[in-house]
Amino acid sequence: METEKLFYTDAYQKAFEAKVVSCEKSSDGYALELNRTCFYPEGGGQPADKGTLEAETGKVQVLDVKEKDGRILHLTDKPIEPDMLAKGEISWPWRFQLMQSHSGEHIVSGVIKALFKLDNVGFHMGTDFVTIDTSGPLTEEQAYRVEAEANRAIWENRKVICRFPPEEELRDMAYRAKKAISGAVRIVEITGADLCACCGLHVANAGEIGIVKIVGLQKWKSGVRISMLAGNMAYLDYAKKCKAVAEIGAFLSSKQDDAVGAVKRLMEQISGLKEQIYQMNRREDERKAASIPQGQKLAFFFEDNMAPDDLRLLSLALAKRAVVAAAFSKAGEGHKYALASLSVDARKIAAEMNAALNGRGGGKSELVQGSVAADRESIEKFLEKCN
């Protein structure tokens, strides 16, 4: 027998009473079937409801909800015996957030269809944001036009109507659908904004969505993937970003509306300092190279806290005077290195060093970079043998 779906009668019903039909052990807890339920099962791109069921034996958590052949199974952390009465209560903040997101997605998809004749070919409601995949390309400018039109429909508080039209009426409806549907078709109409086949739950009036915000646009197959937020999710995102901007402004001693300019100025200062440090390091490299007699067989230096690029540039500077040059910097229990030569194949020497000192690395004949699991004393002993 199919479960009575109270959520289709009233999407705003938060609590109910039902009889337990069956309760079976599952891999993640218990699969509990009721004769009626307010808990929406995962489907149509909308995640399942969360909440609790309470019987004489105590309260259980509803962790997930699935539908199978018209039967709705509540996955719970504890059992409730069959034939017992249970009082169910859904997590309303979670449900309402999903309703806001789903209705917001419908409006955005309907506007995309109306303005640019593109279909919604993929839809996902995640915990972070909602994604919409379109059948064709959409520019950033077009996406923000969609956003503006969608919010206008929300602020006009368009009516949201969910129903199962009779077959003869359905035949003449130009509704959106991702695939052919047989049997009874549930239509969600947002007046003047969208008409779509959908089994999900929605707000009664578009104004309850509050706002939609497009937060991402990336190429996806032949179209784009839109990331959007609606309602409470959009508010929480806005609040988080306002807080971040305020903290950036305070950190940089700037007004919030000048945070971007302040960050740009800081980045320019950092870039200038990096260039100064680079030039100082190169002068130091040349000074070290100048201390080596021209044509010396082997030259090497150990330096602390050197980045791979600095090791590379130092070894190349040394190689202008020595036949073989190497630079080392401590890394954990071992050392990073750069080994260079302008006259012999550096790969051969590096291979011998890696074999002797449990190292690894690679490069070209004039330069090899890598690391060895050895201390300074062991490295120096190896190099002395090569000298």
Q: Look up the CATH number of the domain holding residue 367.
A: 3.10.310.40
Q: Which of 90, 110, 130 is the last residue of a domain?
A: 90
Q: How far apart are CA 98 and CA 92, in angstroms?
A: 10
Q: How far apart are CA 102 and CA 96, in angstroms?
A: 10
Is 135 a member of any domain?
yes
Q: What is the pLDDT of residue 26?
A: 86
Is 278 a member of any domain?
no
- Quickly count: other Cβ atoms within 10 Å of residue 38's Cβ: 23
Query: Residue 377: which domain range?
Result: 290-386
Rounded CA Rg of the chain: 33
Q: What are the CB-based long-range contacts (under 8 Å, 24+) for 211-216?
A: 211/151, 211/154, 211/235, 212/104, 212/107, 212/108, 212/147, 212/150, 212/151, 212/154, 213/147, 213/237, 213/238, 214/108, 214/143, 214/144, 214/146, 214/147, 215/129, 216/129
Flag residues of the chain having pLDDT under 70.
387
Q: Which of 194, 213, 238 is the last residue of a domain?
A: 238
Q: What is the pLDDT of residue 178?
A: 76
Q: What is the pTM of this model?
A: 0.79
Q: What is the pLDDT of residue 18?
A: 97
Chain-centroid distance of CA 273 in Å reads 33
Is 49 a member of any domain?
yes
Q: What is the pLDDT of residue 387?
A: 67
Chain-centroid distance of CA 105 in Å reads 18
CATH code, 196: 3.30.980.10
Cα 294-350-359 angle, rounded to 5 deg: 135
Do both 215 and 113 map to the same domain? yes
Do both 200 and 302 map to the same domain? no
Q: What is the pLDDT of residue 167?
A: 87
Is 77 a member of any domain?
yes
Q: Which of 90, 108, 141 is the last residue of a domain?
A: 90
Do both 101 and 117 map to the same domain? yes
Q: How far apart are CA 177 and CA 174, in angstroms?
A: 9
Q: What is the pLDDT of residue 270?
A: 96
Do both 103 and 222 map to the same domain? yes
CATH code, 28: 2.40.30.130
* Total number of domains in the chain: 3
